[in-house]
Structure 1
């Protein structure tokens, strides 16, 4: 994957028979935030490759505290609400999915700074398609309007088809002889109505 700087977290049960979910699910986040002092350290490909995995490892480590963790918890709680997976352990759920951030550069030290970044760079789009090609997700859940607006209308195999009921946020893309379903949601860190999105997840059956 020549254009990918931050390689995705791939749960140990993703795409495996013991996965909680019947589909291979990619959770598509926005961007990584880091202190300015750490940005230079990410010049190393090894360090950048481990960065997303490090974030998810820290999230699953209960001894590590931080308000940022609520974003991941809020999303997953609403994603499995009302399903057979509702009582599964947090580790089981996150180990059954992938997580990848769209922007392939560090976006400053906090989410408010992402407004200064261009989400239409060709490198980020190519990196996204490389991830889809390598890991073959069946379903992509996209966090936030900036990423949703940057996702191309065509993955290279034809334009998407909008869902009849959720035509504003749920698309089916042809991609290299198969289909990939993409659902765009509000970012769980802000303006996120858990009950609304829980209903959408259940109606579209992306969480089975």
Structure 2
């Protein structure tokens, strides 16, 4: 699998997300130097590190900047670069397809890479890290995710009901997942259109915390200082 990026402020109460444990879920990696289906465990971390330290190419930066400005939940022109970096240091980023999925942009992952180990690794990571919310980047990715628990809530997006998925973490809490178009996709991706997705995730996490009187237990790695 690709090891997830875990920001140094992940789950900290004083981070820009108020301590909410958000996973940003991408689809897959492509690489022209490795065979499809091969492993590259550090690739995800290397890519996000490149954004944080400024070495990532301009085209690749757009995805990270768009996500940060959306998650900031404020007028996009007011989100500074330092705020965007702080947001990426407050989230987990993980690509669902756990192996190299293509040798170039625009190629779709082979069918077999969507299944097998992918859903199990995804569910295990959510549970291990006590993720509270998952922002899913992409419609095809959403359609390939495991179904989740029964009774997941819906919310309103553009005057229509939008379904979500729930995944188990430490009971009675559940991680809530909601999706948007991929920020790199065409078709006029707009902050105003997808802001309700992020607002819903924050509201659902706040509701669960209020119901239980506290946040879920901290991941063991944080308690151990890892």
- 2:108 counterpart (114, 120, 123): 114
Kept in 1: contact 2:127–2:168 (CA 8 A): no
* Contiguous gaps of at least 5 residues in structure 1: none
Which secondary structure does the structure 2 equivalent of 1:100 belong to?
Answer: strand
The equivalent residue for 1:21 is: 17
Structure 2 residue 175 is the aligned partner of structure 1 residue 184: no
Q: Distance in 2 between matches of 1:203 and 1:142?
A: 13
Distance 1:65 1:14, change over 3 A: same
Distance 1:164 1:93, change over 3 A: closer
Instruction: Render the CA deviation track for 1:3-39: whole Å, top value 9, x for unaligned.
Output: xx1010000000123321121000000001111x234
Distance 1:203 1:101, change over 3 A: closer
Kept in 1: contact 2:21–2:132 (CA 8 A): yes
Q: Distance in 2 between matches of 1:68 and 1:193?
A: 18
Which secondary structure does the structure 2 equivalent of 1:165 belong to?
Answer: strand
* Contiguous gaps of at least 5 residues in structure 2: 207-226
Higher mean C-alpha displacement, 124-133 vs 189-198: 189-198
Q: Distance in 1 between matches of 2:150 and 2:113?
A: 20
- 1:10 counterpart (6, 13, 31): 6
Kept in 2: contact 1:119–1:146 (CA 8 A): no
Which secondary structure does the structure 1 equivalent of 2:174 belong to?
Answer: strand
| TM-score normalised by the chain length of structure 2 | 0.75
Two-structure CA RMSD over aligned residues (Å): 2.6
Higher relative contact order (Cα pairs below 8 Å, separated by 6+ residues): 1
Q: Count how many residue pairs are aligned between Structure 1 and Structure 2.
A: 194
Distance 1:82 1:54, change over 3 A: same
The equivalent residue for 1:130 is: 124
Q: Distance in 2 between matches of 1:82 and 1:202?
A: 11
Instruction: Render the CA deviation track for 1:33-91: whole Å, top value 9, x for unaligned.
Output: 111x2349x65xxxx332211011111222442312111111221221427x9455222
Distance 1:21 1:90, change over 3 A: same
Kept in 2: contact 1:7–1:100 (CA 8 A): yes
Which secondary structure does the structure 1 equivalent of 2:71 belong to?
Answer: helix
Q: Distance in 1 between matches of 2:166 and 2:146?
A: 12
The equivalent residue for 1:201 is: 198
Q: CA deviation at 1:94?
A: 0.4
Q: Distance in 2 between matches of 1:77 and 1:195?
A: 11
Q: Distance in 2 between matches of 1:124 and 1:8?
A: 13
Distance 1:161 1:81, change over 3 A: closer
